[in-house]
Amino acid sequence: MSERIPFTISRRSFLQMAGGTAAALSMPAILGACRGGGASGPIKIGVLLPYSDIYAVLGESITQAMEMYFAAIGNELAGRPIELIKEDTEINPDVAQQKARKLVEQDEVAFITGIVSSGVLGGLRDYFNDNKVLCICSNAGANALSRAAKTPYVWRTSFTNWMAPFAMGTWAANNIGKKAIISVPDYAAGEDNVTGFTNSFEAAGGEIVGVQRTPFPNMGDAAPFMAELADAGADLVYAFYSGGAAVTFVTAYNDFGLAGQLPLTCAGFMVEEDVLPAQGNAALGTKSTLHWSYVLDNAQNNQFKTDFKAFAGRDADVFALQGYDTAHVIDEMLRRTEGDTAVDKMVEALDGISFDSPRGPFKLDANSQAPEQSMYARDVQSVEGALRNTILSDLGLTVDPGDNSKG
């Protein structure tokens, strides 16, 4: 069998080529079973990431760390050379759909990786599922992909959007106060953050006094949103923003006089290493929860930070960590299949992959198809002249419940 069956082949000629047994299968099933099959020649990997708009730096970090990992293993997987084919999704589900089709149907990649925005992942879910295209997602946390919209063809090496806000809801109610107002961008990941934080905050005796949804991807004039937060009568704010929007929000929070007055908590993306230099002292004292911190002191993290600095010329951030671990998962998956990229073999191989990551123990959970990993409560402080997320506590191993009723 050839390495891949191009989507452009007609159904009739494919069935003639494939013989009688193929006639019983649907076309997506046939294409899914055959794409990338075999175990020789280069492995093409489709990379769908934002290289423009507010999440551009996230895409760059993921890409550079993947390239760093692959370079360190000689740009070969299971004895086959690797070719990364990168496409810019912007933050646009329609653009991402076109790029995914191009990668699968023209470039004939063996599988897809990348995807930062939950909106983009949600838009591609049916394409991956219906055509049996494996996606190893290195960021977008949309809860639905581990729950009602789960498909065997989407696995995550990153997190689900339930993890950070659920951990923070409990932590904030126990450590800061019982009245919270929430601020999120108006898209799928924002909604996941509202639900996750609300569920655990209320379970710990807290009350949500308001939910603010700001325009996505660009908030526009932040002043009215800051005024609403100031006037809400809350003990604390919980927010979810990332990339350019995180710089906008944290800077506005400080400019409006809220920093240091009204405790700010968040999913840790909002004060990650990619944005801290631009936020400066405005971010000091922000409390967050996340599955990694620059200051985590373990052998894997210390090596990763040193290597990334040498490779990229800048400090690592959580998105680089996720790109690095994604490459590690791909490496392990193809070792297990002995280089065979038949989709069902790759899916089977993903189950239970585990290793010591720079984030701590990492294991792919078969139920949520996302990592089981530790969550850390963090605090932005100045450490040896740089702003870092110091670790307040290790909140322990966390796995998505895979069920809306549990969080």
Instruction: Give contact residues for ligand BEZ (rule: CB under 6 A).
Output: 116-118, 139-142, 161, 189, 242, 269
Phi, psi angle pair for 47, to nearest 5°: -115, 115
Tell me the chain's radius of gyration from C-alpha atoms. Answer: 22
CA 332 – CA 358 distance, rounded (Å): 16
Nearest distance in Å: CB 185, ligand BEZ: 9
Which position has the token pair 């603010």? 212
If the CB atoms of residues 192 and 340 are measured against ligand BEZ, the closer one turns out to be 192
If the CB atoms of residues 14 and 51 are measured against ligand BEZ, the closer one turns out to be 51
Query: How many C-beta neighbours within 10 Å does residue 63 have?
Result: 21
Nearest distance in Å: CB 227, ligand BEZ: 26
If the CB atoms of residues 70 and 294 are measured against ligand BEZ, the closer one turns out to be 294
Nearest distance in Å: CB 135, ligand BEZ: 14
* Residue whose C-alpha is closest to residue 288's, from 168, 394, 113: 168
Read off the DSSP letter of residue 157: S
Per-residue exposure over 213-244, b if at least 16 CB sit within 10 Å of its own CB, e if not: ebebbebeebeebbeebbebebbbbbbbbbbb
DSSP strand pairing (80-88 vs 76-77)? antiparallel
DSSP strand pairing (287-290 vs 370-383)? antiparallel
If the CB atoms of residues 37 and 196 are measured against ligand BEZ, the closer one turns out to be 196
Nearest distance in Å: CB 230, ligand BEZ: 26
Nearest distance in Å: CB 368, ligand BEZ: 15
If the CB atoms of residues 64 and 117 are measured against ligand BEZ, the closer one turns out to be 117
Which amino acid is located at 256 in the chain? F
H helix or E strand, kind and range, residue 90: none
Reading the block at residue 157, the tokens are 């090496």
If the CB atoms of residues 191 and 340 are measured against ligand BEZ, the closer one turns out to be 191
The torsion angle over the Cα atoms of residues 370, 36, 67 and 188, rounded to 10 degrees, is -40
Nearest distance in Å: CB 335, ligand BEZ: 29
If the CB atoms of residues 90 and 235 are measured against ligand BEZ, the closer one turns out to be 90
Report how far apart, in Å, the C-alpha atoms of 88 and of each of 92, 102, 133, 358, 365 are.
10, 12, 19, 27, 29
Nearest distance in Å: CB 370, ligand BEZ: 12
CA 296 – CA 390 distance, rounded (Å): 8
If the CB atoms of residues 191 and 235 are measured against ligand BEZ, the closer one turns out to be 191
Reading the block at residue 20, the tokens are 């009688």
Nearest distance in Å: CB 58, ligand BEZ: 6
